Amino acid sequence: MDLKGKRIVILGGTSGIGLAIARKVEGEGASVVIASSSQAKVDRAKSQLSGAAEGFTVDLTQEESIRSCFGRIGAFDHLVYTAGEPLLSEPIETLSLERAQDFFGIRFWGSFLAVKHGAPHIRTGGSIVLSSGMASRRSRKGWSMISSVCGASEALTRALAVELAPLRVNLVCPGLVRTELWDGMPAEAREAMYKRAEQSLLVGRPGEADELAEAYVYLMKNGFSTGQIVVVDGGASVG
Protein backbone atom coordinates (compact mmCIF):
# COMPACT_ATOMS: atom_id res chain seq x y z
CA MET A 1 0.00 0.00 0.00
CA ASP A 2 1.38 3.43 -0.87
CA LEU A 3 0.20 6.97 -0.16
CA LYS A 4 0.23 8.36 -3.68
CA GLY A 5 -3.06 10.11 -4.34
CA LYS A 6 -4.28 9.66 -0.76
CA ARG A 7 -5.70 12.50 1.33
CA ILE A 8 -4.33 12.66 4.86
CA VAL A 9 -5.71 14.74 7.73
CA ILE A 10 -3.21 15.66 10.46
CA LEU A 11 -4.60 17.24 13.63
CA GLY A 12 -1.60 18.91 15.21
CA GLY A 13 0.08 19.13 11.83
CA THR A 14 1.34 22.69 12.18
CA SER A 15 4.52 21.94 14.14
CA GLY A 16 6.85 19.26 15.45
CA ILE A 17 6.13 15.66 14.56
CA GLY A 18 2.83 16.54 12.89
CA LEU A 19 4.47 18.94 10.45
CA ALA A 20 7.24 16.43 9.78
CA ILE A 21 4.56 13.85 8.90
CA ALA A 22 2.91 16.35 6.54
CA ARG A 23 6.20 16.91 4.72
CA LYS A 24 6.89 13.19 4.56
CA VAL A 25 3.53 12.18 3.08
CA GLU A 26 3.61 15.01 0.55
CA GLY A 27 6.93 13.57 -0.58
CA GLU A 28 5.14 10.27 -1.15
CA GLY A 29 2.52 11.87 -3.36
CA ALA A 30 -0.27 12.37 -0.84
CA SER A 31 -2.34 15.50 -0.35
CA VAL A 32 -2.34 16.99 3.15
CA VAL A 33 -4.94 18.63 5.35
CA ILE A 34 -3.58 20.20 8.55
CA ALA A 35 -5.60 21.61 11.43
CA SER A 36 -4.78 23.69 14.49
CA SER A 37 -6.49 26.05 16.92
CA SER A 38 -4.51 28.98 15.51
CA GLN A 39 -4.94 30.39 12.01
CA ALA A 40 -1.47 31.92 12.25
CA LYS A 41 0.02 28.48 12.92
CA VAL A 42 -1.93 27.00 10.03
CA ASP A 43 -0.69 29.72 7.67
CA ARG A 44 2.90 29.34 8.83
CA ALA A 45 2.82 25.56 8.38
CA LYS A 46 1.21 25.82 4.94
CA SER A 47 4.06 28.08 3.85
CA GLN A 48 6.42 25.16 4.54
CA LEU A 49 4.34 22.69 2.53
CA SER A 50 3.24 22.51 -1.08
CA GLY A 51 0.74 24.99 -2.44
CA ALA A 52 -1.86 22.21 -2.50
CA ALA A 53 -1.87 21.74 1.28
CA GLU A 54 -5.18 22.57 2.95
CA GLY A 55 -5.53 24.11 6.40
CA PHE A 56 -8.39 24.44 8.89
CA THR A 57 -8.80 25.91 12.36
CA VAL A 58 -10.46 23.75 15.01
CA ASP A 59 -10.90 23.85 18.77
CA LEU A 60 -9.98 20.34 19.86
CA THR A 61 -11.61 20.86 23.26
CA GLN A 62 -15.05 21.44 21.73
CA GLU A 63 -17.06 18.61 20.15
CA GLU A 64 -19.08 20.87 17.87
CA SER A 65 -15.93 22.48 16.48
CA ILE A 66 -14.46 19.05 15.71
CA ARG A 67 -17.69 17.81 14.12
CA SER A 68 -17.92 20.95 11.99
CA CYS A 69 -14.28 20.71 10.91
CA PHE A 70 -14.68 17.17 9.59
CA GLY A 71 -17.88 18.22 7.84
CA ARG A 72 -15.86 20.85 5.98
CA ILE A 73 -12.98 18.48 5.24
CA GLY A 74 -15.17 15.75 3.74
CA ALA A 75 -13.85 12.36 2.61
CA PHE A 76 -10.22 11.40 3.21
CA ASP A 77 -8.00 8.33 3.64
CA HIS A 78 -5.94 8.57 6.83
CA LEU A 79 -6.35 10.45 10.12
CA VAL A 80 -3.26 11.29 12.19
CA TYR A 81 -3.52 12.85 15.65
CA THR A 82 -0.41 14.48 17.14
CA ALA A 83 -2.04 17.46 18.91
CA GLY A 84 -1.15 18.26 22.51
CA GLU A 85 -0.41 21.14 24.81
CA PRO A 86 2.86 21.48 26.80
CA LEU A 87 3.44 18.65 29.27
CA LEU A 88 2.05 19.00 32.79
CA SER A 89 4.68 18.08 35.39
CA GLU A 90 3.53 18.76 38.95
CA PRO A 91 3.53 16.85 42.26
CA ILE A 92 0.15 15.32 43.04
CA GLU A 93 -0.04 17.11 46.39
CA THR A 94 -0.26 20.50 44.63
CA LEU A 95 -2.03 19.39 41.43
CA SER A 96 -5.63 20.58 41.36
CA LEU A 97 -8.38 18.36 39.99
CA GLU A 98 -9.26 21.08 37.47
CA ARG A 99 -5.72 21.23 36.04
CA ALA A 100 -5.52 17.43 35.96
CA GLN A 101 -8.82 17.17 34.08
CA ASP A 102 -7.86 19.95 31.68
CA PHE A 103 -4.67 18.10 30.73
CA PHE A 104 -6.78 15.27 29.32
CA GLY A 105 -8.70 17.79 27.17
CA ILE A 106 -6.67 17.85 23.96
CA ARG A 107 -4.43 14.82 24.37
CA PHE A 108 -7.13 12.28 25.24
CA TRP A 109 -10.63 13.68 24.71
CA GLY A 110 -9.52 15.56 21.61
CA SER A 111 -8.29 12.33 20.01
CA PHE A 112 -11.45 10.50 21.13
CA LEU A 113 -13.65 13.14 19.48
CA ALA A 114 -11.45 13.26 16.38
CA VAL A 115 -11.96 9.52 15.90
CA LYS A 116 -15.67 9.75 16.68
CA HIS A 117 -16.34 12.42 14.06
CA GLY A 118 -13.51 11.66 11.63
CA ALA A 119 -13.94 7.91 11.22
CA PRO A 120 -17.21 8.15 9.22
CA HIS A 121 -15.36 10.21 6.58
CA ILE A 122 -12.46 7.75 6.12
CA ARG A 123 -12.52 5.85 2.85
CA THR A 124 -12.24 2.06 2.66
CA GLY A 125 -8.64 0.94 3.23
CA GLY A 126 -7.79 3.97 5.34
CA SER A 127 -6.55 4.18 8.91
CA ILE A 128 -6.15 6.19 12.09
CA VAL A 129 -2.82 6.78 13.86
CA LEU A 130 -2.86 8.28 17.36
CA SER A 131 0.00 9.34 19.67
CA SER A 132 1.18 8.79 23.24
CA GLY A 133 4.62 8.99 24.86
CA MET A 134 7.20 7.04 26.84
CA ALA A 135 5.70 8.21 30.14
CA SER A 136 3.22 5.36 29.75
CA ARG A 137 6.17 2.99 30.33
CA ARG A 138 8.65 4.98 32.39
CA SER A 139 7.28 7.65 34.65
CA ARG A 140 9.03 10.26 36.75
CA LYS A 141 8.19 12.20 39.87
CA GLY A 142 5.47 14.73 39.03
CA TRP A 143 4.36 12.89 35.90
CA SER A 144 1.14 11.34 37.22
CA MET A 145 -1.00 13.06 34.58
CA ILE A 146 1.51 12.67 31.74
CA SER A 147 1.77 8.92 32.39
CA SER A 148 -1.98 8.57 32.82
CA VAL A 149 -2.96 10.27 29.58
CA CYS A 150 -0.35 8.32 27.60
CA GLY A 151 -1.53 5.02 29.05
CA ALA A 152 -5.17 5.91 28.45
CA SER A 153 -4.45 6.79 24.81
CA GLU A 154 -2.81 3.41 24.25
CA ALA A 155 -5.74 1.55 25.81
CA LEU A 156 -8.15 3.60 23.70
CA THR A 157 -6.22 2.64 20.56
CA ARG A 158 -6.56 -1.08 21.23
CA ALA A 159 -10.27 -0.74 22.02
CA LEU A 160 -10.97 1.33 18.91
CA ALA A 161 -9.15 -1.18 16.70
CA VAL A 162 -11.69 -3.77 17.84
CA GLU A 163 -14.73 -1.49 17.72
CA LEU A 164 -14.03 0.13 14.33
CA ALA A 165 -12.67 -2.92 12.46
CA PRO A 166 -11.93 -3.31 9.60
CA LEU A 167 -10.85 0.36 9.86
CA ARG A 168 -7.31 0.15 11.22
CA VAL A 169 -6.33 2.06 14.38
CA ASN A 170 -2.71 2.23 15.61
CA LEU A 171 -0.55 4.48 17.77
CA VAL A 172 3.03 5.76 17.85
CA CYS A 173 4.74 6.12 21.21
CA PRO A 174 7.66 8.57 20.83
CA GLY A 175 10.59 8.89 23.18
CA LEU A 176 12.48 12.15 23.68
CA VAL A 177 12.36 14.11 20.42
CA ARG A 178 13.65 17.59 19.60
CA THR A 179 10.42 19.50 18.93
CA GLU A 180 8.62 22.67 19.98
CA LEU A 181 6.94 20.63 22.74
CA TRP A 182 9.87 21.53 24.99
CA ASP A 183 10.02 25.23 24.13
CA GLY A 184 8.29 26.11 27.40
CA MET A 185 11.35 24.92 29.33
CA PRO A 186 14.20 27.33 30.06
CA ALA A 187 16.79 26.92 27.30
CA GLU A 188 19.49 25.81 29.77
CA ALA A 189 17.25 23.08 31.24
CA ARG A 190 16.18 21.93 27.78
CA GLU A 191 19.76 21.56 26.56
CA ALA A 192 20.70 19.74 29.77
CA MET A 193 17.85 17.29 29.08
CA TYR A 194 19.14 16.66 25.56
CA LYS A 195 22.66 16.21 26.94
CA ARG A 196 21.44 13.59 29.41
CA ALA A 197 19.78 11.77 26.52
CA GLU A 198 23.12 11.59 24.72
CA GLN A 199 24.53 9.78 27.73
CA SER A 200 21.56 7.55 28.58
CA LEU A 201 19.90 6.53 25.31
CA LEU A 202 21.27 3.53 23.46
CA VAL A 203 21.45 5.52 20.21
CA GLY A 204 23.40 8.28 21.95
CA ARG A 205 21.11 11.20 21.14
CA PRO A 206 17.51 12.50 21.22
CA GLY A 207 15.25 11.72 18.28
CA GLU A 208 14.30 14.05 15.45
CA ALA A 209 10.78 14.75 14.22
CA ASP A 210 11.52 13.33 10.76
CA GLU A 211 12.50 10.00 12.31
CA LEU A 212 9.22 9.75 14.19
CA ALA A 213 7.31 10.68 11.04
CA GLU A 214 8.59 7.48 9.45
CA ALA A 215 6.72 5.41 12.05
CA TYR A 216 3.41 7.14 11.33
CA VAL A 217 3.90 6.64 7.60
CA TYR A 218 4.66 2.95 8.16
CA LEU A 219 1.40 2.45 10.06
CA MET A 220 -0.61 4.20 7.37
CA LYS A 221 0.92 2.06 4.64
CA ASN A 222 0.89 -1.34 6.36
CA GLY A 223 -2.58 -2.73 5.73
CA PHE A 224 -2.08 -5.69 8.09
CA SER A 225 -1.32 -3.61 11.20
CA THR A 226 -4.05 -2.62 13.66
CA GLY A 227 -4.33 -2.22 17.41
CA GLN A 228 -0.55 -1.79 17.62
CA ILE A 229 1.57 0.50 19.79
CA VAL A 230 4.82 1.28 17.92
CA VAL A 231 7.51 2.52 20.29
CA VAL A 232 10.23 4.76 18.81
CA ASP A 233 12.36 5.79 21.76
CA GLY A 234 16.07 5.44 20.99
CA GLY A 235 16.23 2.42 23.29
CA ALA A 236 14.89 4.17 26.41
CA SER A 237 12.51 1.33 27.27
CA VAL A 238 15.24 -1.32 27.25
CA GLY A 239 18.38 0.60 28.17
Tell me the catalytic residues: 132
Question: Which among 197, 203, 217 is positioned nearest to 23, based on CA atoms?
Answer: 217
Cα distance from N-terminal residue to C-terminal residue, the chain: 34
232: phi then psi, degrees, rounded to nearest 5: -130, 95
Helix (H) or strand (E) holding 195: helix 187-200
Strands (E), the chain: 7-11, 31-36, 54-57, 76-81, 122-131, 168-174, 177-178, 207-208, 229-232
Cis ω for the linkage preceding 120 (within 30 of 0)? no
DSSP 87: P
